[in-house]
Structure 1
Amino acid sequence: MTPSQTLITLFIFSILSFSHATTAPPKLPKPKAIHLPIRKNQTTSQYYTTFVSGHPESPTIIDALIDLGSPSVWFDCTSYVSSSYNRIACGSSKCKKAKGSFSCLTCDSTPRPGCSNNAYGIFVYNPNPNYLTIQELGEDTITVYSTDGAYVWFSYDAPKFQFACADSVTADGLPGHNTKGLVGLARNENSLPSQLSSYFKLAKKFTLCLPSSSENGLGDIFIGGGPYYMLPSIEDQSLSLVTTPLVFNPNGPRLLSDGELSYQYFINLKNIEISGKHVAFSPSLLSFDINGVGGTKISTTIPYTILHSSIYKSLVQDFIKESSLKKIKRVQSVAPFGACFDSKTAPNTITGPAVPNIDLVLEGSNVRMRLYGANSMVEAKKNVICLAFIDGGVEPTTSIVLGGHQLENYVLEFDLTASTLGLSSSLLLKNTSCSHSRVY
């Protein structure tokens, strides 16, 4: 069943569950958490979610790219029809709260969502063609689902949800065939988790579980906190998370120039180890300079971790050395990867190819993210696996950008109140993953 079919099934189930009521439907219990599905496009290595927007009489199913560092939600409104849509007017209290572009937009065509006069404009960013534009800020009802951490239960309407109503040009270049927009998860008031946690009065935290594949089920966005059950495991993953601080890059990338801290998520990486041995590189690369250059960022739109050249070269060199000690045969590299191996010489295990472990040592008491073969390697072609890290050059803005492949099948809890990242061990160690069917 596709994600869209899953949501439609849930929507119909919700209606049928209460179809016996001839008067007003019974009041639903306050949700303890909200759930949205994640699927992975295997061709583009990008992650998507799906939600329903618009008036119940004419709902629109939106497939949207997940961008951890983007501050807003937007989608292509070219064919969007909804009687409950309203544009946010310039000068209103809502536009001041949104902190957009400080622009008022007009439209000479027939009025519709995305084409209004005296509409407030906000910045909209498409990371794939690296395209930034100003689009109309509007609001409408979106439908989301509650969860107990194991299954999704009831559908809930979140009225007056704010998003940018973009044109088709803005959406050009989005990976995938049906992607209409983007959901930003950044730490600001207009992001998806911030709006939903505020409306439903939930804890200001959200959690990602990125799937390595959508063939056997979908991944998760939890909004509001745990528990988190990754069936068939009966363990509540929220109880075993280790935490490391989320740090602000004081001069890092932002869409505004009003003094706000960077929306993106940075962590303090202290060092990298391969098979317990320290990888040598300048520790200054892990800090921010006066221009905000350096540090370690988490990204859902970068498929593979990108490293400053000096870090990359040391990592590859040490990994090759440790692999040779394990009798893993090196073969010709496959671009863009710098170290590739004969997969027949690295037996497969529950955590992927039996290659040297890579530990990302983080700030905190014995906090580390251990990358096993499933997250450190990628199959480049038949019988060839490659170290899934990319050389970012000698002058990257960020020294290390942790990409999606390295994050798959880990539980990542972003606590925006405590400003911490909660991190699980690899779910593969527990005979489970981030691919599930949560329909009850």
Structure 2
Amino acid sequence: MASSQTLTTLFIISLVSFCYAASGQFKLPKPRAIHLLIRKNEITLQYYTTFESGNSQVPTTIDALIDLGAPSVWFDCTTYVSSSYKRASCGSNRCKKAQGLSYIGCNSTPRPGCSNNTCGIFVYNLARDYSSIQELGEDTMQVYSTDGEYILFTYNVPKFQFACSDSAAVERLPGDHTKGLVGLSRTEISLPSQISSYFKLAKKFAVCLPSSSEHVFGDIFIGGGPYYMPIREDQSLSLVTTPLIVNPNGTARIQSEGDLSNQYFINVKNIEVSGKSVAFSPSLLSFDNNGVGGTKISTTTPYTILHSSIYKPLVKDFVKEASLNNIKRVKYVAPFGACFDPKTAPNTITGPAIPNIDLVLEGSTVRMRLYGANSMVKAKNNVICLAFIDGGSEPTTSVVLGGHQLENYLLEFDLTVSTLGLSSSVLLWNCSNNRKF
């Protein structure tokens, strides 16, 4: 069952659309963009969204984990009831579009998720490191339009494709009442790809991850800006851009060998602490012939993970700069390697007053500056730690940018020109804290 907060939010949005409909005959305009809210689970440090699927009169409300690199949308269909649900038969065009498998069957009573001669696709539960083949189906999804400031109308997306999974696939999936997953990758059946295609919107989407679950939401925009953060300040006008890099070899768990990666990589050229370059081999920031190396953006990795040869000099330089600012180092708290006394790093509007860390990106003067709120984390009472983790000496990806570092930045993924648009920190306004319903 959905949380009371989820139901309240959906009720408010639905009420707005109902009021317009009740005023008489009203033809919905073509949406400029589609919006979904993002919430953060403070225990699992994962982000999730909420949508409705099925019969428009009595739709099913689904809380779903957000995975930037996942190829599809899937959720538990054990109790899913909808007269408009249709399975995708094996060999059908929809099955081919989803790169589905030839055949799966089911010996139980037919229902959504249990049919014979059905197209199957892989789903992956990262919490259990568990992959399985589940039934590909389609149904009507309900979404909400936005002008970048207000949430406007309710729209139906018919024939939205998703995997209708069994209960085992969602077991221990992190989140609040989470029963599925929303993939945002480059594939044709990801959430942004299907919605952009149906409404003929620009092939771009943007995310802003919230730093807290305390009455604060984040955003998914599908179709482009404007993005008002705060109200009346359009962040789309000030984005700096860097290329999205395609890994020549797929590294995802459920991707076929030899396929190009559908995940999102960028070219980090250098890392600086207080304006000084961290010394490590630049070859680590490029892909080798097997697709190993580079920098990936991840919404499911809580903290940025670095190759040991990057992590160790970063910590060394950071500790040195912190000591020059009289910030006292204390015993580390696993999994973090450098921790400090917060009393010696006074809190500011951008977090603890510590040395800035800059990710220098490809492009003229493009960099992502991490202030204290994004580079430090409270590990326990009276201890704050550098929020980076040692990924060992043989990781598949040298740098995995995690959620904590991405929070309160607007990231726009333009799939037409293959660029990432990056805002300055919107920490002072907490993503959609000012969004109007």
Q: TM-score range by the shorter chain?
A: over 0.9
Q: List per-residue Cα deviations over 1:384-423 (Å, max 9, x = no partner).
A: 1100000101110000000000000001000000100000
Aligned equivalent of 1:244: 242
SS of the aligned residue for 1:157 comes to strand
Separation of aligned partners in 1, 2:340 and 2:257: 49
Aligned equivalent of 1:84: 84
User: For residues 417-436 of structure 1, what are the structure 2 equivalents within 5 Å?
Assistant: 417-428=416-427, 431-436=428-433
SS of the aligned residue for 1:129 comes to coil
Separation of aligned partners in 2, 1:8 and 1:432: 24
Aligned equivalent of 1:62: 62
Structure 1 residue 260 displacement after superposition: 3.7
SS of the aligned residue for 1:422 comes to strand
Separation of aligned partners in 2, 1:257 and 1:347: 49
Separation of aligned partners in 2, 1:161 and 1:348: 46
Identity %: 73
Separation of aligned partners in 2, 1:239 and 1:125: 37
SS of the aligned residue for 1:133 comes to strand
- Aligned residue pair count: 433
Aligned equivalent of 1:8: 11
Separation of aligned partners in 1, 2:10 and 2:46: 20
Aligned equivalent of 2:157: 158
CA contact (8 A) 2:250 2:259 kept: no
Structure 1 residue 435 displacement after superposition: 4.2
CA contact (8 A) 1:252 1:293 kept: no
Aligned equivalent of 1:220: 219
Change over 3 Å in CA distance of 1:366–1:167 after alignment to 2: same
Aligned-partner residue type, residue 32 of structure 2 = K
Aligned equivalent of 1:274: 273
User: For residues 63-212 of structure 1, what are the structure 2 equivalents within 5 Å?
Assistant: 63-100=63-100, 102-212=101-211
SS of the aligned residue for 1:413 comes to strand
Q: List per-residue Cα deviations over 1:242-270 (Å, max 9, x = no partner).
A: 00000011013143437541110000010
Aligned equivalent of 2:356: 357
Compare 253-262 and 132-141 and name the one that shifted more: 253-262
Aligned equivalent of 2:309: 310
Separation of aligned partners in 1, 2:432 and 2:33: 19
Q: List per-residue Cα deviations over 1:278-327 (Å, max 9, x = no partner).
A: 10111111111111111100000000000001111111111000000000
Separation of aligned partners in 1, 2:28 and 2:42: 37
CA contact (8 A) 1:207 1:222 kept: yes
Compare 54-63 and 405-414 and name the one that shifted more: 54-63
Separation of aligned partners in 2, 1:347 and 1:15: 49
Structure 1 residue 116 displacement after superposition: 0.9
SS of the aligned residue for 2:300 comes to coil
Structure 1 residue 376 corresponds to structure 2 residue 375? yes
Compare 11-20 and 191-200 and name the one that shifted more: 11-20
TM-score (norm 2): 0.97
Structure 1 residue 49 displacement after superposition: 0.4
Structure 1 residue 138 displacement after superposition: 0.2
Aligned equivalent of 1:48: 48
Compare 260-269 and 415-424 and name the one that shifted more: 260-269
Separation of aligned partners in 2, 1:75 and 1:216: 26
CA contact (8 A) 1:272 1:361 kept: yes
SS of the aligned residue for 1:11 comes to helix
Unaligned runs of 5+ in 2: none
Structure 1 residue 177 displacement after superposition: 3.9
CA contact (8 A) 1:249 1:262 kept: yes
User: For residues 337-416 of structure 1, what are the structure 2 equivalents within 5 Å?
Assistant: 337-416=336-415
Structure 1 residue 186 displacement after superposition: 0.3
CA contact (8 A) 2:250 2:257 kept: no
CA contact (8 A) 2:41 2:176 kept: no
Structure 1 residue 217 displacement after superposition: 2.3
CA contact (8 A) 1:217 1:437 kept: no
SS of the aligned residue for 1:438 comes to coil
Structure 1 residue 5 displacement after superposition: 1.7
Aligned-partner residue type, residue 433 of structure 1 = N
Structure 1 residue 19 corresponds to structure 2 residue 18? no
Separation of aligned partners in 2, 1:4 and 1:284: 49
Separation of aligned partners in 2, 1:259 and 1:388: 34
- Calculate the aligned-residue CA RMSD, in Å: 1.3
Separation of aligned partners in 2, 1:76 and 1:103: 22
Runs of 4+ residues over 6 Å off in structure 1: none
Structure 1 residue 20 displacement after superposition: 4.2
SS of the aligned residue for 2:179 comes to strand
Structure 1 residue 438 displacement after superposition: 2.6
Change over 3 Å in CA distance of 1:168–1:348 after alignment to 2: same
Separation of aligned partners in 2, 1:62 and 1:248: 31
Aligned-partner residue type, residue 435 of structure 2 = R
Structure 1 residue 10 displacement after superposition: 1.2
Q: List per-residue Cα deviations over 1:21-57 (Å, max 9, x = no partner).
A: 3xxx521000000000000011111000000100013
Aligned-partner residue type, residue 181 of structure 1 = G
Q: List per-residue Cα deviations over 1:97-153 (Å, max 9, x = no partner).
A: 1112x2311111111100011110001111221211110000000100000101100
Aligned-partner residue type, residue 21 of structure 2 = F
Separation of aligned partners in 2, 1:45 and 1:299: 12
Separation of aligned partners in 1, 2:20 and 2:337: 55
Aligned-partner residue type, residue 73 of structure 1 = V
